[in-house]
Structure 1
Amino acid sequence: MKASLAYSERSALRPYILVLSLLFAGSILIDKGTDVLWINGHHTPLLDLFLSTVTNLGDGLIFVPIIIMAMFIRFRYAITGLIASIAHGLFVSLFKRVLFPGMERPKAFLHNDLLHFVPGVDVHSTNSFPSGHTATAFCAALFLAFIIRNKVLGIFTLLLAFLVGYSRIYLAQHFLVDVAAGAVIGSFTTYIVWQIMELSNTPPWMSRKLTLPGGKKLSLPGTSAN
């Protein structure tokens, strides 16, 4: 089981390493502000609606249904998800409030006449680095990839996380460098917490799971029903 699990982890990590590398390279090569003007400038009413909705997947509350679902697989996974959700939030707050306080967002950095603001979206001006929504999205996506262990679903959750990051630039909330940093923080936190929990000697009850009414077990693609 450990060998199979390790293989699943490596398989899940490969596309993340590729995406994180591309985001990091883009944040270095593209001038700050140019990224926002290009992405935000290619706006349509349909994208306004779609991306203003997708961006909500980066809200911290997304972990509530994920942790509940994890409880039907292993209690250990639910605890891992809870710790990862708290840890990545603390890292984001440390960067925003202590290490890089008050960093300007696109609204304060760029002339507002150059930006498209989506109606109904509250656009902030400070605490730009890193993107908390992107960190949450990548943290949740990698965690789901680890517990579900299904390549197709893993790629799908990564795509959703990427779209959250893209939405933050489209909505003029962040720069590419903020999104890249958020993606790294979210992914790195999940990986570290996962490894610590998997290598720790946990009590037997943490290997148990919740069951559906009538004693039925929840079966997810790539997971064990035992």
Structure 2
Amino acid sequence: MKTLLEIINKNNFFYIGSLLLIFVCCLFLSIYSRADGFMFMNGFHTTFLTIFFQNITLCGDGAFSLIVFTIILISFKKHRKLAILLLLSYVSSGILSQIIKLFVTSPRPSVYFESHHYAYYLDTFSNCRIGFRSFPSGHTASAFAMVTVFTNYLKKRHIWAFSLLFAIVVGYSRIYLAHHFLIDVLAGAILGILSGTFSILWFKKNQIKIKKRTRQFTRKFNLVMQNIKTQHKPNINGSY
């Protein structure tokens, strides 16, 4: 509990901002129904915004998280801890969101409006996901898990606002593109923040074991690479 409070205190601006965001979303959900809230948040669509959100939403995709993890792991040796934390937060948020989806039956927006006979149509309905696995938003969970780790790791005051804004935009893209309702995105945001925070907490408690196993893995990997180079080393005549 003490370690958890230390994590929150060191990154208090991010967590306070996140709490305010959650409060505003809960207030919005208490005022508007699911359908009315969705229509209100999709009241303005343009070609530029559609293209923008189609691209920004990819930042919540699993492939993006793995690419960021790989780049940091390979290119920034001093920040391998960050890479491990990102991987832990992504995996935990992804697994938890998929488990919840198995037990919660919640229709996607296009299915919801069709089944409730609403005369409402968006241009994004033609390319949106369909089905009954809308809650929570996995993309939002991944984005918030990522920024939670970044803001805790980098420990710079000015980063928390940009990171939180980035995650909010990714979350809103899921509503704009008609993949999710606000309640799905809110649940994903909470799940992501919790996954990122507890990934950091777990890492701190198991840091020595993780470093030891990482060194062992790195040593074995280097030996394998060295053997491969030795086997393919040219002889004196220049032939293999």
Among candidates 176, 182, 188, match of residue 182 of structure 1: 188
Question: In the comparison of the two structures, how many residue pairs are matched?
Answer: 206
Matched-pair contact (CA < 8 Å) for 1:123–1:171: no
Conserved? CA contact 1:134–1:186, under 8 Å: yes
- Given the alignment, which residue of 21, 24, 31 partners 1:22? 24
RMSD of aligned Cα (Å):
2.8
Q: In structure 2, do the counterparts of structure 1 residues 32 and 174 end up closer, same or farther at CA, with 3 Å as the change threshold?
A: same
Q: Which amino acid aligns with 1:78?
A: A
Q: TM-score normalized by structure 2?
A: 0.75
Counterparts of 1:75-154 in structure 2, within 5 Å, are 75-97=80-102, 99-101=103-105, 103-111=106-114, 113-118=119-124, 121-154=127-160
Q: What displacement does 1:182 show?
A: 0.5
- Opposite residue 25 of structure 1, the aligned amino acid is L
- Compute the displacement of 1:196 (Å): 1.8
Inter-CA distance 49–194: structure 2 relative to 1 (3 Å threshold): same
Deviations 1:161-209 (CA, angstroms, capped at 9, x unpaired): 101111111111111111100100011111111112123341455899x
**Residues 1:42 and 2:47 aligned together:** no
SS of 1:126's equivalent in the other structure is coil
Question: Which residue pairs with 2:206 in the alignment?
Answer: 200
Unaligned runs of 5+ in 2: 219-240
CA contact (8 A) 2:141 2:190 kept: yes
TM-aligned CA distance change 1:121 to 1:152, over 3 Å: farther
Q: Which of 1 and 2 has greater Rg? A: 2
Distance 2:71 2:14 in 1: 19
Give me the TM-score of the superposition, normalised by structure 1.
0.79
Query: 1:216 maps to what in 2?
Result: none
Q: Percent identity?
A: 25
How far apart, CA to CA, are the structure 1 residues paired with 2:128 and 2:161?
A: 30
2:229 is matched with which residue?
Answer: none
CA contact 2:128–2:178 (8 Å) conserved in 1: no
The separation in 1 between residues aligned to 2:141 and 2:29, in whole angstroms, is: 16
Counterparts of 1:127 and 1:207, CA distance in 2: 37
After superposition, the Cα gap between the structure-2 partners of 1:29 and 1:119, relative to the gap in structure 1 and judged at 3 Å, is: closer
Greater RCO, 1 or 2 (C-alpha within 8 Å, sep 6+): 1
**C-alpha distance 8-69 of structure 1, shift in aligned 2 (>3 A):** farther
Identify the structure with the greater helix proportion. Answer: 2
